[in-house]
A and B are shown apart, each in its own frame.
Chain A
Amino acid sequence: MSVRTQANAVLRLCYFNGLTPLWRTPVLIVAVFLTPFCFLFFLYVVAPHPLLPFGIVGGVMFTTLFTGNGMLNDCGYLRLERQLQQVFVASPMRPLSYVLGMALSELAFALPSMALFFAVLEVVTGFGAVAFAALLGVVALTWLMATSLGFMISTFFRQLREIWPIGTVVFSVLSVLPPLFYPIASIPAPWRWVAFFSPSTYAGQLADRAVGLPLPPIPTVPALGSPWVQFGALVTLTVLFGAASLRLARWREP
């Protein structure tokens, strides 16, 4: 099949797997939105209000990262519970097209929630077009990284029961602990570098920077504070997870 037919296959998969459930089961939109919103609400009640923009950016990043959890669960579900991945593998659709179509489906789930956070962020910070574009770029990279990671992890399991807790553990650790909802400045200076063990910290820092939020230095490893290093790290991780998921994708069982 030609590149055009493959691209078409990706969009079809996104349409029937990602978009149709949204309008048939609108509660899904609320479900995606609810957790980050609760964090934000909590922050609004307990934290000083100047920290609020960090929380809103955190909401955007949380929603983006959780596309990875959705990917992990949905790919596991289609492969193990429905045997439908097999139906697509044993077809002219390429493995890459399947992964992309699934990743786009997850993005479709996340879009309404993201749009809401973007709107709130605009009201609170009044950020401009450049900042918006930069933030979108970070969101796109993070989405690719998270969904690749989710897909990769899903291939290691043979039971859906095992996948559920793993997803919650991995993606909660990635999105709640690192400085996404709160400024990295809240971490004592000598320990800030530790946060960079989480891939999501690079994304979070770039997102904060895109919106123009103040960022402190990282004393122990100053290079980690450089936007170029952060950007390079995010791109590298995305490529790494992406390549690994295509390789490990277990289109075939061993």
Chain B
Amino acid sequence: MEALVAADLSKTYSGARGRVEALDRVSLSIAPGQLFAFLGRNGAGKTTFIKICSTLLIPTSGHAELFGLDVVERAREVRERIAIVPQEGRPFFHLTPREHVEEYLRVRGASGESARSRADEVLAAMGLRGFANEPAYRLSGGLQQRTLVAMILATEAPFLFLDEPTLGMDPFARRQVWQVIRHATQRGSTVLLTTHYLDEAEQLAQELAVIEGGHILYRGTPEALKSRVHREVRLQFDSGFTVPELRPYGEVFEERGRLTLLTTRSVVPELTRRALERERPIHVGPVTLEEAFLALVGRGIEDEVDPEGGP
């Protein structure tokens, strides 16, 4: 049985700006024990999908099942099997990281003793041991976020929803969190994670889906997505070049003033020479998920979705 199956899931919000189609007939399945990443720009529909599957939001149409249980009809049973890091969640003001982990485990039915030993383990793994007894209001934003993630990962719930779990963390902390997430899947949890850090998806996910405007554009492994870009190298120019000048060499994308060219190795010396002549920097590197995303969606993942609609 699949851990999560969504079939034709749609969600339309009606708000002040009129109706927003946040999800449009999304179908997706996730196998048990998988670490699955949802990639998409801000406003693509990731949080809406997670909220529906974690029983927090009612879909407009379609349905979703978690371990064979309908998330609307059998919410109570679904809730026994899940835990969620909500997007932009914050911990309790006055509680310490240790209290967050222990108390949440106890609210979910763990004994005092098992909650304590589990808290020791998770706090150490997340690099929170030195701060375990500081009230959350004295912790930096990154540490607060780590506290929240620790509290949820400690549950080892069969299905973990992590909505942008590493937002605002430094690179070192993010790596620690990745380790704990991997560990959770090794112990049998299924993880659905949203992110717009592409390196996070590349490092962590066994499979991923790219979502844009409420549609799934791609679903597969990160490697397969990268291999769809039939190019070997990525060249980036901050200034000194124009789109028409670069277009003959390959695909050009303009993102926040920076030009990215996906091309073949053979043109690197030529373009490098030209950049140096103009005394402009040029960045050379292998094709990453970033370019694959750019090629697939046509825009960078950090580009905000235009609220008025339109591409």
Contacts and interface: CB of A to CB of B under 8 A. Distances in A.
A84 B89 contact: yes
B99 interface: yes
Contact of B103 (A5, A16, A90): A16
Interface size class of B (residues with CB under 8 A): 35 or more
A70 to B, nearest CB: 15
A251 B55 CA distance: 8
B92 A91 contact: no
B58 interface: yes
A87 B104 contact: yes
Contact of B57 (A82, A88, A253): A253
A86 interface: yes
Contacts of A93: 107-108
Given A17-B92, A20-B95, A84-B89, A92 B108 contact: yes
B94 interface: yes
B33 interface: no
B161 interface: yes
A83 B108 contact: no
A25 B93 CA distance: 11
Chain B interface mostly = loop
B191 to A, nearest CB: 14
A195 to B, nearest CB: 39
Interface stretch (A7-15, A57-65, A161-169, A232-240): A7-15
Interface in A19-61: 20-21, 24-25
A252 B71 CA distance: 11
Nearest to B14: A254
A89 interface: yes
B303 to A, nearest CB: 25
B231 to A, nearest CB: 40
A92 B157 CA distance: 10
Contacts of B57: 252-253
A152 to B, nearest CB: 19
B79 A16 contact: no
B107 A82 contact: no
A52 B104 CA distance: 46
B109 interface: yes
A90 B88 contact: no
Interface of A: 1, 5, 8-9, 12-13, 15-17, 20-21, 24-25, 81-84, 86-94, 251-254
Interface of B: 51, 54-58, 75-76, 79-80, 82-84, 86-95, 99, 103-104, 106-109, 135, 151-152, 155, 161
- In the A-B complex, list the 3 residue pairs whose CB atoms are closest, starting with the nearest: A83-B89, A83-B86, A90-B84
Given A16-B99, A93-B108, A251-B56, 17 more contacts: A1-B109, A5-B109, A9-B106, A12-B107, A15-B103, A82-B89, A86-B84, A87-B104, A87-B151, A89-B55, A90-B55, A90-B56, A90-B83, A92-B79, A92-B109, A251-B75, A252-B75
